[in-house]
Amino acid sequence: MIMRNIIITPKRIKKELLILLVCLLIAIAVNIVAIISYQTSWWEILTQVGYEIAIALVLYFIFLIIRVVKFFILKIFSKK
């Protein structure tokens, strides 16, 4: 069994960090909408940061699953 090196390029790291940042911004936006609709204190943005991070990670993994499924579908249909 031959072990292969896995190389993660800086471009790929930047792309994944950007996707994670977008997920975090979406989670913060959802929190802001909840603050406005329930008319609660704006301190909730800071006090609920743990939930925002958890929601961002869930969104990231949902997007990851979608990207993996897309990759396999494209790989199956592009074989000739």
Total structural domains within the chain = 1
> How many whole angstroms separate alpha carbon 27 and alpha carbon 59?
8
Q: Is the pLDDT of residue 3 over 80?
A: no
Model confidence band, residue 2 (pLDDT cutoffs 50, 70, 90): confident
Polymer length in residues for the chain: 80
Is the residue at 6 inside a domain? no
Is the residue at 35 inside a domain? yes
Q: Greater confidence, 26 or 3?
A: 26
Is the residue at 27 inside a domain? yes
Domain residues for the domain of 50 are 11-78
Q: What is the pLDDT of residue 33?
A: 97
> How many whole angstroms separate alpha carbon 80 and alpha carbon 75?
10
Q: What is the pLDDT of residue 6?
A: 85
Is the residue at 1 inside a domain? no
Span 38-78, pLDDT tens digits: 999 999 999 999 999 999 999 999 999 999 999 999 988 88
Is the residue at 36 inside a domain? yes
Is the residue at 31 inside a domain? yes
